[in-house]
Amino acid sequence: MMVQGDFGIQGDTSSPPAERPDLRPISDARAATGIIDRLLARGDARQWLRYGMAFAGPAATAGANFLLSLVLLRVMTADVFGHFSFLLVLSQFSIGIWSALFSAALPVIMADPDAEAGRWRLATLFAANIASMALAVPLFIALAWGLGLSAQVAILFSLFAGLLLLRQFARTHAYAAGRAMRVMLSDVCYCVVVLLGLPVLLLGRYAPGPMAAGLLTVAALLALLVFGRSYLAPQFAPFPNHFLDRYRDIWKQHSGWSILGVLTTEMTMNAHAYIVTFFAGPSAFAVLAASSLLTRPVSVVTAALGEYERAQMATLIARREAAGLLRSLWRFRLAMIAVWLGTAAVLVVVLYAVPHIVFPRKYALETLITGSVLWMIVALVRVMRAPESAMLQGAGEFRPLAYASVWSAIFSVVGVAFALAVADPVWSISGVMAGELVYGLCLWPKARAWRRRALPLPREVGGALEERAS
């Protein structure tokens, strides 16, 4: 979505040996069913707690960034705010690229049963990560200067963007090392620093641009230091010999396909905005963006739990724990469905009881309802394919994910254009829905076929677990 560190909590995301399922063939179907029930029940409470931890950090970070945006909206001029917001969008896009280049392969490599090969490949990823960050920082300086921002803002923001990239890699490293608590503490640290800086931004007499960029840099730096020596020591160790040649092998096996998936996914998302804005105008897209606001919790949880589960599934796959993998798929899907249902309930209450508390009266309520329903259907399809996506990432099977993303992009762009030509702009969301459905239809059979081929279960155990995981 690893090397053990010196943090006090050890193995907080991996099951103890006593909980690993016995995968030997079971002849008695009744005995098998009883074992399955115990496997599914055992440790579930802890797993739900870990899901809560995995979500709490990103939720806190998202909330802090949202409040920061509100403050910057008040203290910055429109031009500076627009340029600063654009840099923030680019930094988020760079995180997606970084995840594909370095983070996606990390859980697979750290779960490699060949310890010697895994050690060298891990050192290669660390070296490639820091070397690429050294290239990203000057690029952000050039972008900030190109937008007309001051040298102070350009330098501070580029440092923030670079530290954010390192922190993204550190998050994946900690999850794969079984240290989810450290990830949550890093997120909370970032949130606290940003929140403490908001009154200074709002009430102080400092230039808002350098102050905001400096605040973000300090928050990212302290949040990175939370990961401790277990991450910082290998990250800043001397480069191994021939690391570029070694990374080329990782690129061919994992990162190349992963980056293709990221780029086609970003193209799909941006294409919808560009097509609607170009043909129907920015006001039409504003309604679509507004109708998606209350569906954001589903996206945040999907990303947070997907990052967590990718590392867990990589470990289960490396250990060949087939029953554990199915149990993980089942719990992940159940958690996501619960979040989707909760979001849908809140959406219904807001739209039918107090719509104008959230949405300005200038937006037509009927359009907002239609758009929200369509976005929730899009979210449901994403929820239903999220477990299989995390599993294939954990297995290092990025090629089927890339192919699914390419076909999804094609159907989405064509669907958006067609819907916009024959119906109101709000129905262009159905084009995004078509792309997501194509993604799922490509992914589900590939994931099931891979799992049955790579980690087969005894027939008696498999039937009962398959029923729960589907």
Over residues 39-62, the pLDDT tens digits come to 444 455 666 677 777 777 788 888
Residue 164 pLDDT exceeds 70: yes
Euclidean distance between CA atoms 445 and 463, whole angstroms: 17
Mean pLDDT of 203-221: 90
Residue 255 pLDDT exceeds 50: yes
Euclidean distance between CA atoms 305 and 297, whole angstroms: 12
Residues 285 and 197 grouped into a single domain: no
- Look at the chain and report how many structural domains it folds into: 2
Where does 204-242 have alpha helices with state H? 208-225, 229-235
pLDDT per residue over 306-326, tens digit each? 878 887 888 888 888 888 888
Percent of the chain with pLDDT over 90: 23
Looking at residue 44, its pLDDT comes to 59
> CB-based contacts of 51: which residues, under 8 Å, 6+ apart?
305, 308, 331, 335
Looking at residue 24, its pLDDT comes to 34
Euclidean distance between CA atoms 412 and 332, whole angstroms: 26
Residue 304 lies in a domain: yes
Residues 287 and 396 grouped into a single domain: yes
Residues 170 and 270 grouped into a single domain: no
Q: Copy the structure tokens of residue 163.
A: 């530290």
Residues 291 and 143 grouped into a single domain: no
Looking at residue 162, its pLDDT comes to 93
Residue 3 lies in a domain: no
Residue 247 lies in a domain: no
> CB-based contacts of 270: which residues, under 8 Å, 6+ apart?
none
Residue 30 lies in a domain: no
Residues 189 and 302 grouped into a single domain: no
CA-based nearest residue to 50, from 225, 166, 228, 182: 182
Residues 154 and 64 grouped into a single domain: yes
Looking at residue 37, its pLDDT comes to 41
Mean pLDDT of 388-413: 86
Residue 8 lies in a domain: no
Residues 368 and 466 grouped into a single domain: yes
Of the residues 209, 241, 273, the one at which a domain ends: 241
pLDDT per residue over 199-211, tens digit each? 998 887 788 889 9
Residues 235 and 262 grouped into a single domain: no
Give the predicted TM-score (pTM) of the model.
0.68
Q: Three-state DSSP class for 452?
A: helix
Residue 7 lies in a domain: no
Of the residues 187, 208, 241, the one at which a domain ends: 241
pLDDT per residue over 444-468, tens digit each? 999 999 888 887 765 544 454 455 5
Residues 307 and 403 grouped into a single domain: yes
Q: Which domain holds residue 123?
A: 50-241
Residue 202 lies in a domain: yes
In sequence order, what E strands does 174-224 have?
none
Residue 375 lies in a domain: yes
Looking at residue 459, its pLDDT comes to 57
Q: Which residues of 265-284 are buried (b: 16+ CB within 10 A; e: fewer)?
A: bebbeebbeebbbeebeeeb
Residues 272 and 399 grouped into a single domain: yes
Q: Copy the structure tokens of residue 38.
A: 């115990």
Of the residues 201, 219, 241, the one at which a domain ends: 241
Residues 263 and 226 grouped into a single domain: no
Average pLDDT in the chain? 79
Residues 229 and 324 grouped into a single domain: no
